[in-house]
Structure 1
Amino acid sequence: MTELSWLTLLPPFVAIGLALLTRQVYLALFAGIWLGFYLLNHSGVVPSLAEALDGILAVLASPGDARVVMFTLVIGAFIVTLERCGAVSGFVHFLERSRWVTNGKRAQWMAWLVGIVIFIESNITVLVAGTVSRPLFDRFRVAREKLAYIIDSTSAPICMLIPLNAWGAFNLGLLDGLGVDQPLTVLLSTIPLNLYAISAVALTAFTIARNYNPGPMAHAQARTTSGDKDGIDLAASMGEKAHVKPRALNMFLPVAVLILAMPAGLWITGNGEIFKGSGSTSVLWASLAALTVVSVLVLIQRSMTLDELSHTWMEGAGRMLPLAIILVLALALGSVSKALGTGQYVAGLVGDAIPVALLPVAIFLVSGVIAFAVGSSWGTFSIMLPIAIPVAAALGAEPTLFVAAVLSGGIFGDHASPISDTTIVSSLASGTEHIEHVRTQLPYALRAGVVSAVGFAVLGYVML
């Protein structure tokens, strides 16, 4: 297919439509890939299916893409090993022994700070922050809905603002696969432009400082009484064995290695220049180094045998396998969309349909709607980045603002969605009814969303 037409829009639009209709991101992405190869080669329905499968497998032929997929599996092994070796429980006990919290406001600040410190995985963030803070919120008569809002607002947004984790690797892999020059530099440059993540974290801090309780949250705070205050059993939820001793060291040391190994890897692979280093290589090295450290600690402490440890690695990698599959499918969709010229075609329509300056806010809003309906920010990234980046390239614009709009929109929709896994886990960790968490959090999310939309509109006129 050599002539650009509206047909080039079909693969990503079919992926978006099916994702919204079925909430099955995998099937939606695969359908988009299949249709893309059908349009590209005109080889028939069955032959294009074989071409689609080959296109998906071709993703792993790229060393950079393969490294990011491997990192996704390694970080899963690392997270579950932390859960099983008493690291999370030890960290919780460390915070409880500090006795810094003496009132309700300090309880809220502690939940907020824990959400910022634990940035390696969004669900671990909400589980740790919720478990530590829940008894304190009950003690000082602060609504559990407020706790759910605080930990939910400092999970995905912080993971995106401090991308030394699977979130960073996932998007780094997408950017690299879509042909972005210096993907690490672009990803880091999106941090100050990730308006929703910044707004969500800042609004949470303002809420704590000024006791800001709009709408349903005010009613939740008013009806807070001394009900059931039993906390969740963190050790049981993490799958810890009874004989495992909680050790904060098992959290602090591996996470420190994870953080420090990332820039070290960039410096080494970049021959002394961090921003010229290989992001995919560095995150893989960092995750392997952190996994090695926590595994050595486990064996020295004899909390697990080598056989148990290897099974833990496999279980953790298995948990991340769905995300690895989404990544591979997204890269394949991006590849076939690029071959079809989707971005160039959309860019050609911009002058007649949407002013170029309004593209970032439009991308932000569309990404938000998709993430809300699907309940997955990662699924949204995988659908929207293959559209946004080629459009930016066709317009001759830097991709940073477009990428930031997709990331912000994905987090916004996911944050407001009642079917998001992070939203559900936040309700569980705080011990509140899920629908109450959604109702009380939505006014905050919408406020941060409006601020972000206005911000992207302004940035579009300033930067494009």
Structure 2
Amino acid sequence: MTILSYADSALSLLPPVVAIILAMFTRRVLLSLGVGIILGALLLTDFAVVNSGQYVGQQVAGLVWDDGALNSWNLYLLGFLIVLGMITALITVSGAARAFADWARCHIRNKRDAKLLTMFLGCVVFIDDYFNSLVVGSVARPLTDRYYISRSKLAYLLDSTAAPICVISPVSSWGAYIIALIGGILTAHGFADSGHLNTFVQMIPMNFYAIFALLLLLCVALMGLDVGPMRQHELNAQKGTLYDESKGLPPGANSGLPEADTGKILGLFLPITVLVFATFFFMVNSGADALAEKGQEFSLLGAFENTDVASSLFFGALIGLVVTLALVTIQGVGKKMIGKGIIEGAKSMLPAIYILLFAWTIAGVIGQLETGKYMASLATGNIPFAMLPAALFILAGLTAFSTGTSWGTFGIMLPIAADMAMGSDTTMMLPMLAAVLAGAVFGDHCSPISDTTILSSTGANCHHIDHVITQLPYALIVAGISLSGYLVLGFTGSVMAGLLACSVLFVISIIGLRIKSCQRKA
């Protein structure tokens, strides 16, 4: 079977764009992704229907069995989702979630404090974005439900904390991956003497999108700034409708589970705490083993650079499940209730698993269409030097939006950004690399085919497209602010000038949103 190449063709954009537009308008994610997959397969096989069917079959099989071996990354991540669903359901069955909600009613004073606590937890659990969204969602959901905060708002709190905090944290799966990429790029361009960790830290204030996404989130939590469709979701939540019930149960939701009357807060926090520390241990341990195989000395940063994230999440979740089962057994919860919790918890994750499988399949199709390479090629035209940081921010955003992956965008766009800096002005190397990081997170936040966005919806028990639609206005506001900052940075060569421009625009935006919010309430 001959597979065509579309690296130099705008046709490579067609499948993801069609899938995204269909998802936005029909609100049917699986159907939209399926259409994108079929369209991509037809393009790759020159519209040979039989070959297209074979190709799709190969892609689906590759999700489980790839290159003569099990696809451990995918299987571990799916296993993590199922086990986490079991833990969440057992916590509900034990009555611990309700006990936490009752405690919160006495100690958390209002909606603002509930949102601030959720954001704080997201900043503390920074080791991985998947882990962040799912675990913090499990902890915060009883609290936000108690104060009638919509599931869409919770998903926004999770998603807009997870990626921005991970992309600027060196001790995280994201930070380690970025440091390794940047280290290789700098070494290849003759900057071998520069400390890679130090370089990453220098780039943090240049990542305008991550910084101002977190600041906007803080303002939203403090001031209740509901923009666009989010306002209607919050109004519905005040009436007791936390999510759109006409669409059925959202991914990760448990409905009709019995709850024990003897639940304690410990039943919520001990399993989650064990899960966090066990996952951290396995991440460090798997990274240490990889370093030992390479004959390198152990370091925490080196361990995170070489860690196996998916297996660490899975085994950490298994330890958390064992602790949860022990607690509910000691509590005296009946075997039938425990069994129902395990079964229903696993079943609750199936919608999220279906979406992930489809998203991974279309990601493989997009990879073979070389959509990312085509997007990257747009950056090599005659763009004025002063416009390069802003242009890279936009192109990285479009690439992540189209492909649904920040990490893939990093791998494609960072080397191109470095080459462009070497060919123009090496002093702009780090700002241009930072612009790519910022743009990739922005595009990831907007993309309905992003696995991070999917898992944030799952962690919040929110319908996926509702999360995408309600988060989009906030992401666009921060993107506009960031773009202005990169334009100022490009023309002045000053990071401080870019930050100042972003800060001024940010304050103006918040004042405008605050005035509009007050007018609506009046």
TM-score interval, normalised by the smaller of the two chains: 0.5 to 0.7
Partner residue, 2:189 = none
Give CA-to-partner distance per residue, 1:56-112, whole Å, 9 cap, x none: 2212222222212222222222222222221211222333444x74xx7xx633541
Partner residue, 1:311 = 340
Cα distance change, pair 337–353 in 1 and its aligned pair in 2 (3 A) = farther
1:93 and 1:213 mapped to 2: Cα distance? 27
1:364-383 equivalences under 5 Å are: 383=404
The number of aligned residues is 395
Which residue type is aligned with residue 404 of structure 2?
Answer: I
Cα distance change, pair 44–203 in 1 and its aligned pair in 2 (3 A) = closer
Cα distance change, pair 346–60 in 1 and its aligned pair in 2 (3 A) = same
1:194 and 1:238 mapped to 2: Cα distance? 41
Cα distance change, pair 35–133 in 1 and its aligned pair in 2 (3 A) = closer
Unaligned runs of 5+ in 2: 66-70, 123-131, 167-171, 185-196, 243-252, 289-297, 419-431, 496-522
Which residue type is aligned with residue 358 of structure 2?
Answer: L
Partner residue, 2:381 = 352
Of the three residues 33, 39, 50, the one matched with 1:35 is: 39
1:3 and 1:426 mapped to 2: Cα distance? 36
2:8 and 2:402 mapped to 1: Cα distance? 25
1:396 and 1:155 mapped to 2: Cα distance? 30
1:214 and 1:21 mapped to 2: Cα distance? 22
Partner residue, 2:17 = 13
2:144 is the counterpart of 1:130: yes
2:343 is the counterpart of 1:340: no
Q: SS state of the match for residue 247, structure 1? A: coil
Partner residue, 1:158 = 161
Of the three residues 322, 326, 347, the one matched with 2:351 is: 322
1:426 and 1:193 mapped to 2: Cα distance? 32
Deviation at 1:240, TM superposition (A): 4.9
Q: SS state of the match for residue 74, structure 1? A: helix
Deviation at 1:291, TM superposition (A): 1.6
Q: SS state of the match for residue 262, structure 2? A: coil
Deviation at 1:113, TM superposition (A): 1.5
2:212 is the counterpart of 1:199: yes
Deviation at 1:125, TM superposition (A): 5.8
1:426 and 1:65 mapped to 2: Cα distance? 23
Q: SS state of the match for residue 395, structure 1? A: helix
1:321 and 1:401 mapped to 2: Cα distance? 36
Of the three residues 413, 429, 434, the one matched with 1:392 is: 413
Deviation at 1:324, TM superposition (A): 2.1
Give CA-to-partner distance per residue, 1:358-417, whole Å, 9 cap, x none: 34532576599xxxxxxxxxxx68635597356426726598864653433444688xx9
Deviation at 1:161, TM superposition (A): 5.2
Partner residue, 1:376 = none
1:31-430 equivalences under 5 Å are: 31-42=35-46, 44-61=48-65, 62-98=71-107, 101=109, 108-117=112-121, 121=134, 124=138, 127-133=141-147, 154-160=157-163, 198-206=211-219, 239-241=256-258, 243-271=260-288, 272-273=298-299, 274-275=303-304, 276-305=306-335, 307-352=336-381, 356-362=388-394, 383=404, 385=406, 388=409, 391-392=412-413, 395=416, 402=436, 404-411=438-445
Is the contact between residue 77 and residue 314 of structure 1 (CA under 8 Å) also seen in structure 2?
yes
2:92 and 2:319 mapped to 1: Cα distance? 17
Which residue type is aligned with residue 338 of structure 2?
Answer: L
Is the contact between residue 76 and residue 320 of structure 1 (CA under 8 Å) also seen in structure 2?
yes
Is the contact between residue 266 and residue 277 of structure 1 (CA under 8 Å) also seen in structure 2?
yes
Cα distance change, pair 37–150 in 1 and its aligned pair in 2 (3 A) = closer
Give CA-to-partner distance per residue, 1:265-305, whole Å, 9 cap, x none: 01211225521221111111111111221122112212241
Which range moved further: 392-401 or 74-83? 392-401
Alignment RMSD: 5.1
Which residue type is aligned with residue 215 of structure 2?
Answer: A
Cα distance change, pair 247–123 in 1 and its aligned pair in 2 (3 A) = same
Is the contact between residue 389 and residue 486 of structure 2 (CA under 8 Å) also seen in structure 1?
no
1:89 and 1:340 mapped to 2: Cα distance? 49
1:262 and 1:423 mapped to 2: Cα distance? 17
Is the contact between residue 199 and residue 448 of structure 1 (CA under 8 Å) also seen in structure 2?
yes
Cα distance change, pair 192–79 in 1 and its aligned pair in 2 (3 A) = farther
Partner residue, 2:512 = none
Which residue type is aligned with residue 116 of structure 2?
Answer: W
Which range moved further: 269-278 or 292-301? 269-278
**TM-score with structure 1 length normalisation?**
0.65
Q: SS state of the match for residue 23, structure 2? A: helix
Q: SS state of the match for residue 441, structure 2? A: helix
2:15 and 2:227 mapped to 1: Cα distance? 41
1:422 and 1:331 mapped to 2: Cα distance? 16
Which range moved further: 254-263 or 46-55? 46-55
1:30 and 1:45 mapped to 2: Cα distance? 15
Which residue type is aligned with residue 128 of structure 1?
Answer: P
Deviation at 1:250, TM superposition (A): 0.7
1:408 and 1:395 mapped to 2: Cα distance? 19
Cα distance change, pair 153–215 in 1 and its aligned pair in 2 (3 A) = closer
2:6 and 2:263 mapped to 1: Cα distance? 63
Provide the identity percentage: 24
2:7 and 2:226 mapped to 1: Cα distance? 49
Unaligned runs of 5+ in 1: 135-143, 164-168, 369-379, 428-433
Is the contact between residue 40 and residue 366 of structure 2 (CA under 8 Å) also seen in structure 1?
yes
2:455 is the counterpart of 1:451: no
Which residue type is aligned with residue 300 of structure 1?
Answer: I
Which residue type is aligned with residue 112 of structure 1?
Answer: L
Give CA-to-partner distance per residue, 1:153-195, whole Å, 9 cap, x none: 53332344567xxxxx9x98xx9xxx9999xx9xx99998876
Is the contact between residue 15 and residue 32 of structure 1 (CA under 8 Å) also seen in structure 2?
yes
Cα distance change, pair 114–384 in 1 and its aligned pair in 2 (3 A) = closer
Deviation at 1:44, TM superposition (A): 0.8
2:350 and 2:273 mapped to 1: Cα distance? 25
Which residue type is aligned with residue 12 of structure 1?
Answer: P
1:393 and 1:410 mapped to 2: Cα distance? 16
